[in-house]
Amino acid sequence: MKRNGVLLALLLGAATIALIAIGTIWPIPSALAFAGGQGLRPAPTTPEIAVRNLADDIKTRSWGRAYGSLANKAEFTQAEFQHDLTGYYQSLRSYAELDHYDVRPLHQSADDAVIRLDLYWSTMMGTSESTRDVHVVRNGNRWEAEWPLVKKPVVPPQVIPVNYLRWDVIYPTGGDDWGEQGVEAPHVRIIDMHPVQRAEGVVILGELLNEDVVPAYVSVDATLLSKDQKPLGTEGSFDKIMHVLLPKQVTPFFINFPNAQLSDVGSIRMTPFSTLVPASADPVIGIDSQHLNPVPNPSLTGNLINQSGQVVNVAHVLGTFYNKNGQVVWVADEYVDRALLPQTPVPFKIHIPEDLARSISSERTVVATYSTGGSV
């Protein structure tokens, strides 16, 4: 009996240790997620592992460990390294988390290598991608990454003349329903609209014009009606539109009906909404070096230039693409995840579906902005 007991104790003890070891060496997915994507941290015996370890540290925001693992850490401080990734000024990246990453070796020799690190950030406005080519060097039997730091942009001292239009609205009650002022809504008009069948569902593209002489908050809802005029579903433009339109300004809109079939649709009911709001033309965002890139990888690229004296924390670039007849064939957008400093170009890139790219002959770009009111 005593022997059985000893055996049982040893068996249970061994099973406990073995199961813990299995769970730690080969973690289950949920455990892996909390451990930052990988289990036991492997020694950086290859350039790829060194970059993966670095990316895992970035993912878990282990800044001290990430910085400590760098070969070129003497060239910058940990704070600079951290701000290079999260932004020097408040932006979408400030609150973003690294969702996942990819590494691809570009070059390797006995003592150094270059690894491309694609970082996919989860931001408030969706996924944002950034790429760094990381130089990795051998140090004994370990490999260490050299971080390609992008230095904080320095804005020279200058005077920016502020000369822009602004519309204020005097509210009769000072109430919190800012859109219900008891005045006639600004006149807006849909100047172009047509539905497109895409793999993910039906998409409605179009443009909306503020015909009035006052600024307007706008949004567009669309209801798909079946052939017997029964509603199939209602969706709105959400953030695929510029919500505040100055007088005579045009915004594209994009409304998505996931899983819908155009063949089931008899008609579409469009419901534009507008109300009077205060607005200003500042900050003015210029677009420089704009270029339509052909297939493969069709895209619209360019630089945004903040022409005001204030920091723009988030910029939303909306591109409208037309065919040779001037009809809208696609609307696409991109959020710039870095703050726009005055007079400092920031690149943007809007992807265009390859099957539509060939029919595009012109485009128009508008930029919506969000600022917290900070300055450089």
Partner 1 sequence: MQKTEPIDSSQKPIPLSLILLLAVAVHLPLMLMKLPLKSYDTNFHIFFASHYLHHWFNPWNVKWYAGFSQATYPPLPQQWIAVISPLFGLEMGYMVVQFAAILLLVVGVYRFSRLWVSPRAASFAALATVFLGSESFLVYSAGQLGTTSAAPLYLNALPYMYVWVREGGWRPFLKATALFAAAAAAHHATLLFGSFFFALPVLALAFLDDRGEKPTVSGFVMRTLVIVGVTTAAIIVVLLPFWIALIHYPVTQTPIPHPSRANYLLSPQWGLNYFIVPYGALILALPFIFWRGSMVPKLRPLLFGFWVAFMLGLGGTTPVGPILLRRAFEVITMERFSYWATLLALPFVGLLASELVSRYRVKAAGALAVAAAFTCALAVSWSTFHPADGGTLGIDSNAVAAWLNRDGHNQYRYVTLGFGNQIARLGRLTDADSVDGEWNSGRMLPELTKNGGGSLTNSKYFGADGLRALRAILMHASHYGLKWVIVRDPSYDPLLAFAGWRPVDNLDDKTIVIWAKDGIPPAQPLNAPQMPPRWQGLMWGIFPFGSSIFAFLVLLIPDKRREEEMEQYPVHREESLLPGRMIS
Q: Are 287 and 305 in contact (CB under 8 A)?
A: yes
List 294, 372, 374, 375, residue binding partner 1 (CB under 8 A): 372
Judged by CB under 8 A, the number of residues near partner 1 is 61
Rule CB under 8 A: say whether 22 interacts with partner 1: yes
List 63, 72, 86, 125, residue binding partner 1 (CB under 8 A): 125
* CB of 2 or CB of 291, closer to partner 1: 2
Rule CB under 8 A: say whether 236 interacts with partner 1: yes
Q: Are 291 and 299 in contact (CB under 8 A)?
A: no
Rule CB under 8 A: say whether 217 interacts with partner 1: yes
Shortest distance in whole angstroms from residue 135 CB to partner 1: 29
**DSSP assigned state of 61:** T
Q: Are 110 and 332 in contact (CB under 8 A)?
A: no
Candidates 108-116, 193-201, 234-242, 300-308; binding stretch for partner 1 (CB under 8 A): 234-242
- Say how far apart CA 245 and CA 188 lie, in whole Å: 10
- Give me the numbers of helices (H) and strands (E) for the chain, helices first please: 6, 19
Residue type, 289: S
- Say how far apart CA 53 and CA 62 lie, in whole Å: 11
On the question of a cis peptide bond just before residue 296, with omega within 30 degrees of 0, the verdict is yes
* CB of 177 or CB of 228, closer to partner 1: 177
List 108, 219, 323, 359, residue binding partner 1 (CB under 8 A): 219
Closest of 347, 17, 355 to residue 150, by C-alpha: 347
Q: Are 211 and 248 in contact (CB under 8 A)?
A: yes
Rule CB under 8 A: say whether 339 interacts with partner 1: no
Closest of 235, 230, 231 to residue 202, by C-alpha: 235
Candidates 35-43, 77-85, 145-153, 155-163; binding stretch for partner 1 (CB under 8 A): 35-43
* DSSP-based helix, strand, coil % in the chain, nearest 5: 20, 45, 40
Closest of 47, 57, 46, 79 to residue 149, by C-alpha: 79
Rule CB under 8 A: say whether 169 interacts with partner 1: no
Q: Are 116 and 133 in contact (CB under 8 A)?
A: yes
List 110, 154, 170, 176, residue binding partner 1 (CB under 8 A): 176
Q: Are 257 and 201 in contact (CB under 8 A)?
A: yes
* CB of 12 or CB of 79, closer to partner 1: 12
Shortest distance in whole angstroms from residue 313 CB to partner 1: 7
List 65, 73, 116, 243, residue binding partner 1 (CB under 8 A): 243
Rule CB under 8 A: say whether 183 interacts with partner 1: no
Rule CB under 8 A: say whether 28 interacts with partner 1: yes
Shortest distance in whole angstroms from residue 126 CB to partner 1: 8
Question: What's the alpha-carbon Rg for the chain, to the nearest Å?
Answer: 27
Q: Are 148 and 158 in contact (CB under 8 A)?
A: no
- x/- mask, partner 1, residues 289-318, rule CB under 8 A, reads ------------------------xx-x--
Rule CB under 8 A: say whether 12 interacts with partner 1: yes
Residues numbered 250 to 279 that lie near partner 1 (CB under 8 A) are: 273, 275, 277
At residue 355's C-alpha, the angle toward residues 349 and 358, to 5°, is 80
- Binding residues for partner 1, rule: CB under 8 A, are 1-2, 5-6, 8-9, 12-13, 16, 19-20, 22-24, 26-28, 30-35, 39-40, 92, 94-95, 97, 99, 122, 124-127, 175-180, 217, 219, 221, 234-236, 238-239, 241, 243, 273, 275, 277, 313-314, 316, 335, 368, 370, 372
